[in-house]
């Protein structure tokens, strides 16, 4: 009989081959249905009862299944993963991004790390448990959802608003962007568990001015006004704030590597983290990156409006202060509104964290686990509204030289075959003892 470890690679590869690109355009037909049906069929094949929910718009498929545990008085554990991926341009890739090709020890394709690899691991373990009649210590709820890459409006967010009963009794959850290994200079390895994530604020800015002929004097030019405002914002440094997860992470790294960590100068410690410093550095302060700018239609016409979009990421507890600081930087005459998702944070302790440490330790003796804050956001933000405590725990043991964080939404996204097999073994142990 096929084991979870044996089938995880083909599951990942087949999931990648189902193109579930999401552009974020709500008028376009959803692409997740085929992947959701694939997952539902794989679960049904081994005896799960699945609930298929198409949320709000056509084609935005979600699948939920529950495996009853030994102790119904304990809260359930949610294992969730998103089925959508960001688009990929085949011209830029060395393999077709939707081939799911397995070569050179990697599974290649869009979604390999974000996050069909984890979906495949969860699916493989769920199937194995059913085949073997495993009764986990508590209920496990498996949810494979749509639309994470565009905010979860047709996925997690929709399910939380319209089908909360599917998550009845769930107290804790695991999902993406945590559980992967990093190897420090000197060879010590740690697995980063996501215990917090920054809030998201997608800002729309608009400036109005006087329209007119481009040859004349203009003191009230909307384009110039908005360009100056976003330039101020782009060069502004928000205050450095050392939050608990970041402090615990840097203290842990100091212990493992001997690199001293000075509380008064965390940036010095972050600068020595190599590839990781891009992401960890972004969790020391709020950030605001201008991503879109739109104005005008002809060389000799001054337009009456200009618009810009800013991707801002806010530390836990900073929402109000950020808004005030933002208003001051933008100054008068700039209109702003936004979509936002709150930061989330939990503590790095308890039985579930112990189970993670034990499962990792059993497969990689001597390795440590450390908490960290994700600079981006995930579906955890939606599930948090049901009072669910969230951890990023999609275990992968990675080769030291792999620039893992660059693979998210990157060209030639791929995941090592051995890492998927390792992760499946860890997840199996973890879910048996959670």
Residues that bind Zn ion (CB under 5 A): 114-115, 176
Q: Which is nearer to Zn ion, 176 or 286 (CB)?
A: 176
Provide, rounded to whole angstroms, the least separation between the CB of residue 374 and Zn ion: 10
Report DSSP letters for 11-73, one per residue. Answer: HHHHHHHS--B--S-TTSPPS-HHHHHHHHHHHHHTT--EEEEE-SSTT-EEEEEEE--S-TT
Provide, rounded to whole angstroms, the least separation between the CB of residue 114 and Zn ion: 4
The number of C-alpha atoms within 13 Å of 371 and in the hemisphere containing its C-beta is 21
Q: How many whole angstroms separate alpha carbon 249 and alpha carbon 373?
A: 9
Q: Which is nearer to Zn ion, 114 or 421 (CB)?
A: 114
Provide, rounded to whole angstroms, the least separation between the CB of residue 219 and Zn ion: 47
Would you give the DSSP letter of residue 274?
G
Q: How many whole angstroms separate alpha carbon 277 and alpha carbon 282?
A: 8
Q: How many whole angstroms separate alpha carbon 298 and alpha carbon 226?
A: 18
Q: Which is nearer to Zn ion, 62 or 221 (CB)?
A: 62
Residue 332's CB: how many other CB atoms inside 10 A?
A: 7
Q: Which is nearer to Zn ion, 42 or 110 (CB)?
A: 110
Provide, rounded to whole angstroms, the least separation between the CB of residue 340 and Zn ion: 19
Q: How many whole angstroms separate alpha carbon 14 and alpha carbon 12?
A: 6
In the bound state, the residue with its beta carbon closest to Zn ion is 114
Contact 243, 375 (CB under 8 A): no
Q: Which is nearer to Zn ion, 113 or 226 (CB)?
A: 113
Provide, rounded to whole angstroms, the least separation between the CB of residue 6 and Zn ion: 26
Provide, rounded to whole angstroms, the least separation between the CB of residue 377 and Zn ion: 9
Distances (CA, A) of 136 to 127, 202, 228, 247: 13, 40, 58, 34
Q: Which is nearer to Zn ion, 157 or 318 (CB)?
A: 157
Q: Which is nearer to Zn ion, 80 or 389 (CB)?
A: 80
Provide, rounded to whole angstroms, the least separation between the CB of residue 117 and Zn ion: 10
Nearest alpha-carbon partner for 352 in 381, 395, 393 = 393
């Amino acid at each position: 009989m096929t084991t979870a470890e044996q089938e995880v690679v083909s599951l990942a590869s087949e999931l990648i081959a189902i193109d579930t690109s999401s552009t974020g355009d709500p008028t376009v037909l959803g692409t997740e249905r085929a992947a959701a049906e694939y997952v539902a069929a794989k679960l049904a094949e081994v005896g799960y009862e699945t609930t298929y929910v198409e949320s709000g718009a056509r084609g935005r498929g979600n699948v939920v299944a529950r495996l009853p545990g030994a102790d119904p008085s304990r809260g359930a554990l949610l294992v969730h993963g998103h089925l959508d991926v960001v688009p990929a341009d085949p011209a830029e890739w060395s393999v077709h991004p939707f081939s799911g090709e397995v070569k050179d020890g990697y599974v290649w394709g869009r979604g390999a790390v974000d996050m069909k690899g984890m979906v495949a691991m969860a699916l493989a373990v769920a199937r194995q448990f059913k085949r073997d009649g495993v009764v986990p210590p508590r209920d496990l709820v498996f949810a494979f959802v749509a639309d994470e890459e565009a905010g979860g409006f047709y996925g997690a967010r929709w399910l939380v608003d319209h089908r909360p009963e599917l998550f009845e009794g769930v107290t804790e959850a695991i999902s993406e962007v945590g559980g992967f290994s990093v190897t420090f200079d000197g060879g010590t390895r740690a697995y980063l568990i996501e215990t917090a994530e920054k809030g998201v604020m997608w800002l729309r800015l608009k400036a109005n001015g006087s329209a007119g002929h481009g040859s004349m004097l203009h003191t009230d030019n909307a384009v110039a006004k908005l360009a100056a405002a976003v330039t101020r914002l782009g060069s502004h440094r928000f205050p450095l704030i050392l939050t608990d997860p970041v402090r615990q992470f840097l203290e842990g790294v100091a212990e493992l590597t001997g690199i001293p960590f000075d509380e008064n100068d965390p940036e010095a410690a972050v600068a020595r983290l190599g590839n990781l410093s891009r992401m960890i550095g972004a969790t020391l302060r709020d950030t605001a990156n201008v991503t879109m700018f739109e104005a005008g239609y002809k060389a000799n016409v001054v337009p009456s409006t200009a618009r810009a979009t800013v991707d801002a990421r806010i530390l836990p507890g900073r929402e109000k202060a950020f808004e005030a600081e933002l208003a001051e930087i933008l100054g008068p005459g700039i209109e702003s509104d936004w979509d936002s998702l709150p930061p989330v944070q939990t503590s790095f302790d308890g039985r579930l964290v112990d189970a993670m440490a034990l499962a990792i330790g059993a497969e990689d003796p001597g390795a440590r686990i450390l908490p960290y804050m994700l600079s981006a956001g995930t579906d955890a933000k939606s599930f948090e509204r049901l009072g669910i405590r969230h951890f990023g725990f999609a275990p992968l043991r990675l080769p030291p030289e792999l620039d893992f964080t660059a693979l998210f939404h990157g060209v030639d996204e791929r995941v090592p075959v051995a890492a998927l097999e390792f992760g499946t073994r860890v997840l199996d142990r973890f879910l048996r003892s959670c």
